[in-house]
Amino acid sequence: MPADPRLILASASPRRRELLARLGYPFEVVVAGVTEFEDSDADPRHMVAHNAALKAEWVSARHPDALVLGADTTVFIDNLVLNKPRDLAEAHGMLMRLSGRTHTVFTGLSVRRADTGLRRDGGESSEVTFKSLDQAGIENYLSKVETLDKAGGYSVQDQTDLIIAGYRGSFTNIMGLPLEATKQILTDCGLSL
């Protein structure tokens, strides 16, 4: 039986690295040299699917014999996509918009292997309900959590009790890599533990 191909995670995200490690697959990290499509008016499902594929294809072209996993996550509310905030003021505005309400977190997954032409795509969505936050609560949260590299301006796993009232669906999806869906897509691509 042939050995499993190398697995490469096409992501700079330390959270995705930590989550993928939980599945037990050996993997490498290669950050894709791409500019992600980010438009606040985009369809969030299409946007994350596009960005996940973009990352996977860029890395796969450079490592054609490897199985490459790309992922992208965003937050969606009021028909607006909330990507990573540019600064603390924008993060503050995002948290104010999310305060006391439920939003959806979408993640797109793409697996590519250039030498065999393998292409698999998937995705996940979860719902998150925020506590009602006032100015002081938002400032307290922002003083404790680095949010500028996170869609929606928050980290579901850090200081959760300060902002999150509840969620439905995959918690790891909200973190940035839905583990059940990831395990399924990698298994479908022939990767075994």
For the chain, list the domains and their CATH numbers.
Answer: 7-188 (3.90.950.10)
Work out the average pLDDT over 105-134.
97
State mean pLDDT over 67-86: 96
Q: Is the pLDDT of residue 2 over 90?
A: no
For residue 1, pLDDT over 60 is answered with: no
Task: Please give the torsion angle defined by the CA atoms of residues 24, 25, 30 and 36, in that order, rounded to the nearest 10 degrees.
Answer: -80
| Whether residue 91 has pLDDT greater than 70 | yes
Q: Verify whether residue 72 is a known catalytic residue.
A: yes
The two three-digit tokens of residue 42, written as one number: 């985009």
What is the value of pTM for the model shown? Answer: 0.94
Say if strands 7-9 and 67-77 run parallel, antiparallel, or are unpaired.
parallel
How far is residue 118 from each of residues 57, 110, 151, 169, measured CA to CA in Å? Answer: 11, 10, 29, 28
% of the chain at pLDDT higher than 90: 92
- Catalytic pick from 4, 72, 121, 134? 72
